[in-house]
Structure 1
Amino acid sequence: MTTANHDQPPARKRRLGRIAIASMAAVSLLGLSACVTDPNTGQRYASRTAIGGVGGAGLGYLLGGLIGGRTGRILGAGIGGIGGAVIGNQMDQQIKELDEATAGTGVDVTETPDGTGILVNLPDVTFAVDSTDISPAFRSALDSVAQSMIRYPNSLVDVMGHTDSTGADTYNLDLSRRRAESVANYLVSRGVSRARLETVGYGEQYPVADNSTAEGRAQNRRVEIRITPISTEEVNAARN
């Protein structure tokens, strides 16, 4: 007799979901000709349209590697790594804690499409209009994110800024970079090691909603924090 999925423990359901989402992403990527180039690494990934089956969070920039590469950042951050067998359980626990700590703030916490990390989506209200200053009302939510990073130190963190399509491309790109840097600086001010952090601004390149509506534009104006746990095996490989 087959056990219904709702009878499975939450952690197991998340791990099964992680496998399913990764498989969907892989299938979507195979056989596709529409590609985009990651401006940081030069690597090419399937375009937003091609990955559409995975949803907004399945954009190519999230399926790529860590900003600035992996080996150098692992060595620079001086982290010890996590036993490979416990990474999944630790991610489940961290997601649960982040969900609870940021409940009601508009922060969205999910796994990355390939299941290798955690994605924390900070909404448009993180900043005032056309500003890089973090709204005072949102600082407590970011404090909780910083405390989680300190509690789970064996990870690298990418902070990624996005805008809607209103205004000039060059201005949007610069604004997204400055907002990503503002979030990173705030995390550092709360005790997160700067060596763990990298920032990038994508401007309007990667919308997750329709820019023709006010609601869609608000969703596209966001900062995402990708937390990638690093295993002891990866640390050892980086050192050798």
Structure 2
Amino acid sequence: MRRSALLVSLLSASLVMAGCASTEYSNTAKGAAIGGVVGAVAGKATGNHKDKRLVIGAAVGALAGAAVGSYMDNQEKALKEELSGSGVKVVRDGDKLRLDIPAQLTFDINRSDIRSNLYPVFNDIAKVLRDYEKTMLVIAGHTDDTGAYQYNMTLSQARADSVKKYLTAQNVQAIRIETQGYGPSYPIVPNTSEANRALNRRVEIHIEPIVQ
């Protein structure tokens, strides 16, 4: 409790100082203010979810009660409108959202850099994420089970990191985003055919509301 309270106090002070310099500051500047404080969290910046929610909540506010469902309803609608026809699926699970992004659309074989023709799709994703900033994001990379296990783990992590890098370049705050490469560990269908393996090669963006 003492550490969490200190985090919130430090972040509040940081944001006030940033505000004194300018009454309106950009998402980039806000992200820098948050980033200056998150180092106080013990362990990795992507570690304790509770501490992370406190840090983000202090910066952008948190949701409570009926506001959570309404906020996620509106975000789901905005994502579906922006991503219609893109090949990206928007999946709702309670008050959480998941974007399923086929890897074969996003990356060349054995590569982790996003194909340039997919930039507009990720720009649309970033636009909605900026508009609905009271959320945490986990970007998860997945592969099929062909090839060496460790290679697939490394590739899936690199692809998740590549998506994070692109989104932060579009002014989605880095503190809101975690990445994880799972390799072949979590297939959505058995790897028994090429069609199934294609489904398992994917990147998912999990979107979770920040609640009080």
The SS at the match of 2:68 is helix
Check conservation: 1:79, 1:155, Cα contact below 8 A.
no
SS at match of 1:176: helix
2-side partners of 1:88 and 1:220: how far apart?
30
AA matched with 1:224: E
Q: TM-score, normalised by structure 1?
A: 0.66
| 1:102 equivalent in structure 2 | 83
Residue 161 of structure 1: how far off its partner (Å): 0.5
Are 1:84 and 2:65 matched, yes or no?
yes
Partners of 2:60 and 2:161 in 1: CA distance: 22
Q: Which has the higher helix share?
A: 2
Q: 1:138 Cα shift? A: 1.1
Determine whether 1:69 maps to 2:48: yes
- TM-score, length-normalised on structure 2? 0.74
Corresponding residue of 1:144: 124
Within 1, Cα distance between the matches of 2:122 and 2:63? 24
The runs of 4+ residues in structure 1 deviating greater than 4 Å are none
The answer to whether 1:224 aligns with 2:204 is yes
Partner of 2:70, secondary structure, is helix
CA distance in 1, matches of 2:73, 2:180: 26
Pick the aligned partner of 2:175 from 195, 202, 215: 195
Give, in angstroms, the shift of residue 215 of structure 1.
Answer: 1.1
Q: Is the 8 A contact 2:68 2:95 kept in 1?
A: no
- Secondary structure class of the residue paired with 1:145: helix
Q: Deviations over 1:65-119 (max 9, x none)?
A: xx6332221233333112321111221111111111111111010113xx13110
Q: Which residue of 1 aligns with 2:40?
A: none
Q: How large is the RMSD of aligned CA atoms in angstroms?
A: 1.3
Aligned to 1:123: 102
Q: Take 1:86 and 1:104, find their aligned partners in 2: how far apart are those partners? A: 29
Q: 1:164-222 CA deviation, whole Å, 9 max, x = no partner?
A: 00101100001000000000010000010001111001110000123121111111010
Given the alignment, which residue of 134, 148, 157 partners 2:137? Answer: 157
Q: Which runs of 5+ in 1 are unaligned?
A: 1-66, 234-240
SS at match of 1:129: coil
Tell me the amino acid that sits aligned with residue 73 of structure 1: K
User: Please, which runs of 5 or more residues in structure 2 have no aligned partner?
Assistant: 1-45
1:157 aligned counterpart, secondary structure: strand
**Distance (whole Å) between structure 1 residues aligned to residue 140 and residue 200 of structure 2:** 12
- AA partner of residue 145 (structure 1): I
2:176 is aligned with what amino acid?
R
Q: Give the length in aligned residue pairs.
A: 164
3-state SS in 2 of match to 1:192 = coil
Q: 1:181 is matched with which residue? A: 161
Quote the sequence identity (%): 38
